[in-house]
Amino acid sequence: MPETEIAIGDSNARNPMLPIARFYAKEMRQVARKSVLRLSPHIKREICKACASPLVPGVACSTRVKGHKKGRRVVTTCLYCGYQRRLIVDPHKELFVDKDIHGIIH
Cα dihedral 57→80→26→44 (10° resolution): 30
Residue pLDDT, tens place only, 64-90: 999 887 788 999 999 999 999 998 888
Strand partners, 54: 47
What gap in Å lies between CA 94 and CA 84, rounded to an integer? 23
- Give me the sheet containing 73-78, strands edge to edge: 61-66, 73-78, 84-88
Per-residue pLDDT of the chain (106 residues; tens, 9 = 90+): 344 443 444 555 667 888 999 999 999 999 999 999 988 888 999 999 999 999 999 889 999 999 887 788 999 999 999 999 998 888 777 777 777 764 555 5
Q: What is the DSSP letter of 27?
A: H
